Amino acid sequence: MLDNALFQPRAPGTPLQAWIRQSLVNAILDGKLAVGQRMPATRHLSKSLGIGRNTVTAAYEELVSQGFLESRERMGFFVGTLHRDLPAETEPHAATGSSVAWSKHLKFAPSQMRHIEKPWDWHDYRYPFVYGQVDRNLFPIDQWRACSRDALGRSAIDYWASDRALEDDPLLLEQLCRHVLPQRGIFARRDEVMITLGSQHGIYVLSQLLLRPGDSVAVEDPGYPDALNIFDAHRANIRRMPVDDDGMVLDDAAAAKLKGAGLVFVTPAHHCPTMVTLSNDRRTRLLDLAERDDFLILEDDYEGEIRSDETPPALKSIDRSGRVIYIGTMSKVLAPGVRIGYIVGPAPLIAEARAMRRLMHRSAPLNNQRTAAILLANGHYEGMVRALREALSHRRQEAIDSVHRDLPDFRLSPSIGGSSLWLECPPDIDASALIAASAERGVLVEKGDPFVAPELGGRFFRLGLSAIDKRLIGPGIAEIAAAVRALRGT
Residue burial 184-220, b: 16+ Cβ < 10 Å; e: rest: bebebeeebbbbbbbbbbbbbbbbbebbeeebbbbbb
CA 464, 391, 399: angle at the middle one, nearest 5?
45
Same domain membership, residue 459 and residue 372: no
Tell me: cis bond preceding 128? Omega within 30 of 0 counts.
no
If asked whether residues 355 and 408 sit together in one domain, one would say no
pLDDT value, residue 95: 54
Domain count, the chain: 3
d(CA 385, CA 392): 10
212 and 240 assigned to the same domain? yes
Closest CA to 368 of 148, 180, 179: 148
> In the predicted model, what is the mean pLDDT of the chain?
90
pLDDT digits (tens, 9 = 90+) for 353-395: 999 999 998 888 888 999 999 999 998 888 888 889 999 999 9
At 427, the pLDDT band (50, 70, 90 cuts) reads: very high
| 297 within domain boundaries | yes
CB neighbour list of residue 263: distance below 8 Å, 6 or more residues apart: 210, 211, 215, 216, 217, 218, 295, 296, 297, 298
Q: Are residues 212 and 332 in the same domain?
A: yes
Of 227, 179, 172, nearest to 194 by C-alpha is: 172
Task: Report pLDDT for 96.
Answer: 57
Shared domain check, 73 and 129: no
Supply the pLDDT for residue 419.
93
For residue 89, being part of any structural domain is answered with no
Q: Residue 227 domain-assigned?
A: yes
Query: Which has the higher per-residue pLDDT, 52 or 403?
Result: 403
- Output the CA–CA distances (angstroms, integers) from residue 169 to 140, 162, 191, 201, in the order listed: 22, 12, 12, 18
Instruction: CATH number of the domain at 29, please.
Output: 1.10.10.10
How much is the pLDDT for 413? Answer: 95
Q: Per-residue pLDDT averaged across 140-149, rounded? A: 86
User: What was the pLDDT predicted at 67?
Assistant: 86
Query: How confident is the model at residue 372, as a pLDDT?
Result: 92
- Among candidate residues 68, 58, 72, 63, the one with its CA nearest the CA of residue 29: 68
pLDDT in tens, 11-23: 877 888 989 998 8
The dihedral through the CA atoms of 458, 462, 468, 474 has a sign that is: positive
Kindly state the helix (H) or strand (E) to which residue 228 belongs, with its residue range.
helix 225-233
pLDDT score of 332: 85
| Residue 277 binned pLDDT confidence (cut-offs 50, 70, 90) | very high
Residue 95 counted as domain residue = no
Q: Give pLDDT tens digits for 225-259.
A: 999 999 999 999 999 999 999 999 999 999 999 99
CB 316 within 8 A of CB 290: no
pLDDT at 156: 76
User: 3-state DSSP call for residue 356?
Assistant: helix
Residue 411 sits in the same domain as residue 349: no
Task: Supply the pLDDT for residue 136.
Answer: 81
Q: Are residues 398 and 359 in the same domain?
A: no
| 400 and 304 together in one domain | no
Mean pLDDT for 188-202 is 96
Q: 88 pLDDT exceeds 70?
A: no
Q: What is the mean pLDDT of residues 67-90?
A: 76
Q: Are residues 61 and 168 in the same domain?
A: no
Cα separation, 45 vs 15, whole angstroms: 17
**449-458 pLDDT tens trace:** 999 998 998 9
Domain boundary among 328, 354, 381: 381
3-state SS string for 434-472: HHHHHHCCCEECEECHHHCCHHHCCCEEEEECCCCCHHH
Task: Give the whole-angstrom CA distance, residue 32 versus residue 452.
Answer: 52
Confidence of residue 91 (pLDDT cuts 50, 70, 90): low
Domain assignment of residue 91, yes or no: no
Integer Cα distance of 270 and 307 in angstroms: 8
Domain, as residue range, for 69: 4-79
Using DSSP's 3-state secondary structure scheme, residue 184 falls into helix
DSSP 58-119: HHHHHHHHTTSEEEETTTEEEE-STTTTSPPP----TTTTTTS-HHHH-S--GGGS------
**Could you tell me the CATH number of the domain that includes residue 294?**
3.40.640.10
The confidence score (pLDDT) of residue 264 equals 98
Instruction: Work out the average pLDDT over 420-440.
Output: 96
Which of 318, 352, 381 is the last residue in one of the domains?
381
Pairwise pLDDT comparison (479 vs 162), residue with the higher score: 479
Mean pLDDT of 273-302: 96
- Rg (the chain; Cα; Å): 26
99 falls within a domain: no
Q: What is the pTM of this model?
A: 0.82
1 falls in which pLDDT band (50, 70, 90)?
low
The predicted pLDDT at position 86 comes to 54
In a shared domain, residues 63 and 194: no
Is the domain of 337 the same as that of 203? yes
Domain shared by 313 and 439, yes or no: no
pLDDT band at 2 (very low <50, low <70, confident <90, very high): low
Cβ-proximal residues to 365 (8 Å cutoff; 6+ apart), any chain: none
Q: How much is the pLDDT for 347?
A: 97
Alpha-carbon distance 69 to 62, whole Å? 9
Beta-carbon neighbour count of residue 412 at 10 Å? 18
427: CATH: 3.90.1150.10
- Domain termination site, one of 332, 364, 381: 381
Amino acid at 18: A
- The per-residue pLDDT for 92 is 56
Residue 12: asked if its preceding bond is cis (omega within 30°), the reply is no
SS3 160: helix
pLDDT digits 0-9 by tens, 291-332: 999 999 999 999 888 877 677 899 999 999 999 999 999 988
Note whether residue 436 is domain-resident.
Answer: yes
Question: How many helices (DSSP H) and strands (DSSP E) are in the chain?
Answer: 16, 16
Using a pLDDT cut of 90, give the percent of the chain over it.
61
Neighbouring C-alpha atoms within 13 Å toward the C-beta of 27: 23
Q: What is the pLDDT of residues 172-193, one digit of tens each?
A: 999 999 999 999 999 999 999 9
Tell me the CA end-to-end span of the chain in Å, nearest whole number.
63
Report yes or no on 283 lying in a domain: yes
